[in-house]
Amino acid sequence: MNAFATAAARAAFVDRHLAELYPQTPVPLAHRDPFTLLVAVVLSAQCTDVRVNQVTPALFALAATPEQMAHVPVAEVARLIRPCGLAPRKSAALVGLSQLIVEQHGGAVPRTFAGLEALPGVGHKTASVVMAQAWGVPAFPVDTHIHRLAQRWGLSSGRNVEQTEADLKNLFPREHWNQLHLRIIFYGREHCTARGCDGTVCAVCRTLFPHRRRAVRTKK
């Protein structure tokens, strides 16, 4: 009998194997506190963490608190973050969310999903990262790496990121979510990349599906 015939068995292997590979799970976005983490996550949309980390030192030298960011002209923020892409939209979001944090939350980053998702430029994934990494609240942010790997590893049918998130939360222990979502990202970047593995190449894919011969077509 195939030891990995069920999604639960596959999930248990992934959980155990990635914990061995990545015992430490540092947040890849450089930040000082919940606000700078929030800013970095907003900037990371359709941009690499490496590029964000190259841009944020100059941005944080100018404005590292909601009070400071709220008074920076949007055009100045856009100039500094241009290498991250989508600068007009992201700069407006950063200034706008800073103003709301000051006006509605006393200058403190909200500690709830509802409070975060009400901020400009903050969707569910961004809120999930902040809740998990800033406040330690169990969350399972699903980015392109996790969405792709969940399909390759037979953990979700992956019709959309919402379904993928729900499927992964059902499969993995709640107390593992915060570290596991980072571990999957680390593995996806290093071993199961978009171009380097098609579901038949990396060690996890070969272990879970040793007889797979066709590439997995990822659903977006």
* Catalytic annotation, pick one of 90, 125, 167, 198: 125
* Catalytic annotation, pick one of 143, 169, 198, 219: 143
State the Cα–Cα distance between residues 128 and 26, nearest whole angstrom. Answer: 16
State the Cα–Cα distance between residues 122 and 152, nearest whole angstrom. Answer: 28
Which tokens sit at 153?
């590893």
- The answer to whether 198 is a known catalytic residue is no
- The answer to whether 143 is a known catalytic residue is yes
| Burial state string for 169-200 with b = 16 or more CB within 10 A and e = fewer than 16 | eebbeeebbbbbbbbbbbbbeebbeeeebbbe
| Burial state string for 139-150 with b = 16 or more CB within 10 A and e = fewer than 16 | bbbbbebbbbbb
Positions marked catalytic: 125, 143
